[in-house]
Amino acid sequence: MIGPTIEPSEVGLTGLLWLFLSYGYVLYYASNLIGEGSELLLLVPSLAGLVGGVVLPLLGAVPDGAIILFSGLGSLEDAQESLAVGVGALAGSTIMLLTVPLALSAWRGKVDLLSGDKANYLGRPKLTEKSSMWATLTKTGVAVSDPIHQSAAIMMATTIPYFLIQVPALYLHGPSEEVAAGEHWWAAAAFCICLIGLFFYMRLQLKMSQEGQDRGKRMAVVRKLLQKGKVSLSGAVASHVQHFEEQMGNGVPSSEYQSILEVDPRRPPPAVFSYLKEILADAFMTYDEDANGHLDEGESFMFFRDFHEAISEEEMKDLFSKFDSDKSGTIDLDEFIGLAYALIKIQVAKEKTADAPSHNNTRAVIADAAFAEIEEEEIPEDLSALPPEQQQVAIKQRAFTMLALGTTLVVLFSDPMVDVMQEIAVRANLSPFYVSFILAPLASNASEVISSQYYASKKTSKTIQVSLSALVGAASTNNTFCLSIFMGLIFFRGLAWQYTAETLAIILVEFLVGFLVRNKILSTGRGLLIGAVFPLSIALVATLEALGFD
């Protein structure tokens, strides 16, 4: 066994519960590390496309994949029995993510519905009090964008391996060895299709990310990290601003912004302006206490201090006067974006000035020495206190450390977690499938549920797209990455796929949710109905098994 060696069958009921809670918390913590590490890498321009398109969706499925893998290891007899734990983890993860958090996202992200299949994301307030619960269920909801429609279609298309392995499973009966022999090459075909599907799905996600189609997701992550104080404004966006300027070949060189007195209150380059506006517009409205579309000097100062920018009141006064063109004592959003752009450039210039050598060394030696010095230091607990360029180095260090630690914990604790869930099933006199169906997602998918609720609660068209697309996309990853592990176990280890009821439940739920989210609007009522599918799917599996489908 990999990881802890406590034998679940040798402990009492309290000990078994303690083992489940302990291993479950470790897996939850590991999932959080993987998710947060991946999100940090979105702040690095050179890695953002790869991370957004491939790393985020793939690493999110690692905990489930590990549970599935370890459920099929060991002796053939034990593996055939414990494989039910892996099936429960796969079905529970897929069905749970498509039902409970999706329903909660529809509830937390709901706004008033307008005529013409539109949602009130531009109004103030976005959600008005309704006269009855029926009105809340039918007159509020969320918008479902075209990328989510596309994700739903991909999710349904990636169910093909389930249909393929079910061809022999429907007519083969008898001992597991005979069933496994009859399914052998069908499992090989399903395994290949899973890998092909995973390759093309990852390729599509990478292409969409490189073309900027996942821009909303990246912006939402940056805003989340800023609001949680993980990084400063300049640390989060300075490298992206410089990247845009290099691509366009224009912009104000940082060397021109040695002091606030040298600031030219010109509008940032179009791509930079659009990027900063997308990140800062919602926060701007939050600090606009009187809702007049303007911020005064005090509100602006508070904004940048809250976003961890090292600027004094006197510096803010000088900078603010540069952008208060009509001397009204307030600036609008466009002027505020220009001010933010100037402040970011000033912070970069300050760092370059502070790092400038006082003697004649080659630039390469200086760069190597500076990098080595940063590498030797411990990663600061508060990244936001560092200058922008040092934040980028520390962000990479922390992100890769979190990814490595999270993945290691998943590998170490997935195997003992399988044994614990199997022992719980034995003592409760239940099939291991039902135990892992309910319990496994609590550990492996809790971080994804929390993240989806965070984005949905922002009540914008872009954040609800991030929330829903992550949940639907997770099902596609399960259908390709996780199912490929299963089909590999069936083929290479000679195990039997005897899970017709479970397979039908997964397929029916995916197609039901897939068709419902292909509408332009998902009402709150429909969202809550989707949530009710989770317990109904358990009843469906039990009914089908009672009818002899397995």
3-state secondary structure labels for all residues of 370-389: HHHHHHHCCCCCCHHHCCHH
* Global pTM value: 0.77
Q: Report whether pLDDT(188) > 90.
A: yes
The end-to-end CA distance of the chain, in Å, is: 30
Cβ neighbourhood burial of 273 (10 Å; 0-12, 13-18, 19+)? middle
Name which of 442, 459, 462 is nearest 450 in CA terms: 442
pLDDT at 379: 42
Q: Tell me the pLDDT tens digit for each residue of 334-365.
A: 888 888 888 888 777 766 655 555 444 443 43
Q: How would you classify the pairing of strands 140-143 and 118-119?
A: unpaired
**In the CATH scheme, what is the homologous superfamily, with its name and number, of domain 221-374?**
EF-hand (1.10.238.10)
Best CA proximity match to 486, nearest among 470, 473, 502: 502
Q: Using an 8 Å Cβ cutoff, are 223 and 454 in contact?
A: no
pLDDT tens readout for residues 197-206: 999 998 888 7
Helical (H) or strand (E) element with 228: none
For residues 53 and 208, the answer to whether their CB atoms sit within 8 Å is: yes
Is the separation of the CB atoms in 489 and 89 below 8 Å?
no
Task: Indicate the domain borders of the chain.
Answer: 221-374
Q: What is the pLDDT of residues 2-55, one digit of tens each?
A: 557 788 888 899 999 999 999 999 988 998 888 888 878 777 766 666 666 677
CA distance 517 to 435: 29
Give 119's strand partners.
113
Strand 521-523 to 140-143 pairing: antiparallel
The pLDDT value recorded for residue 386 is 65
Query: How many whole angstroms separate alpha carbon 150 and alpha carbon 207?
Result: 14
Q: What pLDDT score does 266 carry?
A: 61
Question: CA 520 to CA 123: how far, in whole Å?
Answer: 19
Rounded Cα distance, 480 and 155, in Å: 10
Amino acid identity at 247: Q
* Cβ–Cβ < 8 Å for 491, 171: no
- Residue 43's closest CA among 231, 267, 285, 206? 231
